[in-house]
Amino acid sequence: GAGVSQSPSNKVTEKGKDVELRCDPISGHTALYWYRQSLGQGLEFLIYFQGNSAPDKSGLPSDRFSAERTGGSVSTLTIQRTQQEDSAVYLCASSLGEVSVGETQYFGPGTRLLVL
Amino acid sequence: GEDVEQSLFLSVREGDSSVINCTYTDSSSTYLYWYKQEPGAGLQLLTYIFSNMDMKQDQRLTVLLNKKDKHLSLRIADTQTGDSAIYFCAEWNQAGTALIFGKGTTLSVSS
Chain B residues within 8 A of A110 when measuring between CB atoms: 42
Give residue B40's pLDDT: 78
Residue B29 predicted with pLDDT over 90: no
Give residue A98's pLDDT: 66
ω into residue A8 within 30 of 0, thus cis? Answer: yes
Please give, rounded to a whole number of angstroms, the shortest distance from the CA of B14 to a CA of chain A.
27
Give residue B1's pLDDT: 62
Give residue A101's pLDDT: 60
Give the percent of chain B with pLDDT over 90. Answer: 71
Given an 8 Å threshold on Cβ–Cβ distance, is B95 in contact with A56? yes
Residue A100 predicted with pLDDT over 60: no
The verdict on B88 touching A (C-beta cutoff 8 Å) is yes
Residue B66 predicted with pLDDT over 60: yes
Backbone φ/ψ region at B97: left (φ over 0), alpha (ψ -120 to 50), beta: alpha
pLDDT digits (tens, 9 = 90+) for A64-79: 999 999 888 999 999 9
